[in-house]
Structure 1
Amino acid sequence: MEWVKAVQRLRARRQAGVLVTVLSVRGHAPREAGAKMVVAVDHVWGTVGGGNLEALGVERSREMIAGGAAAPEVLTAALSDKAPYQHGVQCCGGEVRLLLEPLPVVPSVAIFGVGHVGLELARILARHDIELHLVDSRADQLTGERLGVLDDAVAQVHVHNVPVLPELVVGELPPGTHVVIMTHDHAEDAALCDAAIRNDQLATIGLIGSSAKWTRFQRKLADDGNPAEAIARITTPIGIPSIIGKQPAVIAVSVAAWLLERFTEQTAGASSAAAQSAARLPVSARSAERRPASAQRKAQA
């Protein structure tokens, strides 16, 4: 189905979109319930009937994308020459309700170091709808047999075996990625920290380790020319303070919980941006069908 391929394409490109579905039809309408289209900032796949109905769906979808909306909405349109319209008359005589479901860009996490803790963390995160990058300079940590525990992952898992200069992967990560540094080699950790704080598109940078390790790293990063505000982007230790224990599985649970909090903060930020965006719209744009607001558009939690 075209809409399924469109959703996959948006996800691969890490672009937001909206899935528009004909939720219900009363009377005559161009498409039946269940018809779908996918709307992106610059493209539309499929159709829910064309004309004013579809134009309203596309317009509102792009407003939702621009505002980072997270909650679905229902838009109702009357297909009558007596109904308010904005993009041309549709006089089929029916009424159509469209369900607009945001297709957000999913979180992205990169784990540098897939040792005992890294693998346990990957097992937890793989149960979530995210992009998960596993990076290690040791080929034996990334074998199919060892990573077989991720075969049923919900996440899209990307494996990076980089024997030399794994820090180069930092520059290839999608914008907004959460980086977790926990390799077997402190020199490798230090190089990754340096590369990460020079990349201003990362969401968060987490480093596993002791306070003594962090003291040495801060000194080295400063000696390498990094300003204090850049170094401060690194969070260490990572995890939830109340979850204690040194077993790999315990540490992984703590770090995973910390990351889930970061995901929640991102979602809250997107919702706030959506509200601010809607508030800035002109009155004519905020009213439902550009005047049929109350009757034409209804929000659904």
Structure 2
Amino acid sequence: MIINWSSAAHKLSQQGQAYVLVTLVGVSGSTPRNSGTKMVISNDDIFDTIGGGHLEYKALKYAKKMLDVAKNAQHNAQHIEHFQLGSHLGQCCGGNATVLFECFAATGVNIMLFGAGHVAKALVPILAQLPCKVTWVDSRAEQFPEDVERYHNVEKVVSETPEDEVASMAENSYFIVMTHNHQMDFAISQAVLKRADFHYLGLIASDTKWRRFQQRYKHRDIDQTQVARMNCPIGLADVGGKLPIEVAVSVSAEIINVYQAEQLRVATLTEQLEQASQQCSALDENAGLASDLVNDLDTNININSATDLTLKNKRRPSSQQGIHWQEFKQLLNTD
């Protein structure tokens, strides 16, 4: 199924994925497409076209750079670039095109959910409505709902060794562990702990299971500071209940709480950096004014020093009275 740029932008926004909207905002002469033509470029795909050729190749290359920057910067960005199709890009149409690049940074979170039991089946429809991408993993293909594909931001993965899937996730990912097998839960959680770059690790477990797991982590020399970061029991304590939907609501509430806290932290840090940048600019401006003042003072001092020196050469010593002999001699010679 071919998706146009507007549908792609809507879908990617819902999934919280980063993408670049490329628009021809101005054209002159002969160009492959008219002004207003758009295309969308994501990390994994391209939607629509601005005419192909070297122009589109350049646009694609620049959009990929913006996406790479967005992974770390985590904020939107805009840029306008002008292209001469003939002299610079070698396209026979020979016109000019002005291209607007609008990069929309990823807003969602990457979640890997292990287990397709009752709680997971109640949890996925909730997560599917959030700005996140869910990778749903289980070793039993028959456990997944038949209509799992209807969730645009959920990917089903059937794996005989679910713990091996941990390595496929990006850093700062969220991991939810609730399989049907305790040993599998331990292997998965151990793999996440060894990575030590997770943002969230939640484990569904009773008190007894959790104590046993903690002892086993110690015996496996797992970093205890990483173990302390785990969320077990999983879910918000204020949202109780044992029904699958009650547990699912509690877990999803905890996920929302965690990623909103991170968004607030990033927003606060960004604001602080902007304020610091403004203060540095103000300091630089003041330093420039101070430098100009010092230069003016130096100039005045030099002028005054020169004037003083001239006056000093002309001024008679305080001990002298009458005319100086050299002046007197000069007068005599003049006569």
TM-score bucket of the superposed structures, by smaller chain: 0.5 to 0.7
Secondary structure class of the residue paired with 2:134: strand
Give the Cα–Cα distance (whole angstroms) in 2 for the partners of residues 180 and 39 of structure 1: 27
Q: How far apart are residue 34 of structure 1 and its match? A: 5.2
- One-letter code of the match for 1:138? R
Question: Which structure 1 residue ranges, 5 or more long, are not aligned?
Answer: 78-95, 284-301
What is aligned with 2:239? 243
Provide runs of 4+ in structure 1 moved above 4 Å. 1-5, 14-17, 27-31, 36-40, 45-48, 60-64, 73-77, 96-99, 272-275, 277-283
Change (3 A) 1:277 1:135: farther
Note the alpha carbon deviations across 1:186-222, whole angstroms, 9 max, x for none: 2222222211100123221101122222111111110
Question: 2:88 maps to which residue?
Answer: none
Higher relative contact order (CA 8 A, sep 6+): 1
Aligned-residue offset at 1:185: 1.9
Partner residue of 1:192?
Answer: 188
- Cα distance between partner residues in 1 of 2:180 and 2:218: 23
Task: Indicate conservation of the 8 Å contact 1:135/1:160, yes or no.
Answer: yes
Contact 2:19–2:40, Cα closer than 8 Å, also in 1: no
Q: Aligned equivalents of 2:66 and 2:274: distance in 1?
A: 13
In the alignment, does 2:70 pair up with 1:68?
no
Amino acid at match of 1:18: V
1:265 aligns with 2:261: yes
1:217 aligns with 2:183: no
Per-residue CA shift, 1:104-157, capped at 9, x if unaligned?
A: 174211111111111111122123343212222334313xxxx12433213131
| Higher Cα radius of gyration | 2
Uncovered stretches (5+) of structure 2, i.e. residues with no partner: 82-97, 282-335
How is 1:69-218 mapped onto 2 (pairs within 5 angstroms)? 69-70=74-75, 100-104=102-106, 106-142=108-144, 147-162=145-160, 165-218=161-214
2:223: which partner in 1? 227
Please give the alpha-carbon distance, in whole angstroms, between the structure 2 residues aligned to 1:108 and 1:66.
13
In the aligned structure 2, how far is the partner of 1:169 from the partner of 1:39? 23
TM-score calculated relative to the size of structure 1: 0.63
Aligned-partner Cα distance in 2 for 1:125–1:154: 11
Offset at 1:3?
A: 8.4
CA contact (8 A) 1:70 1:270 kept: no
Separation (CA, whole Å) in 2 of partners of 1:3 and 1:259: 32
Structure ranking higher in helix proportion: 2
Greater mean deviation of Cα atoms: 210-219 or 243-252: 210-219
Q: CA RMSD in A?
A: 4.6
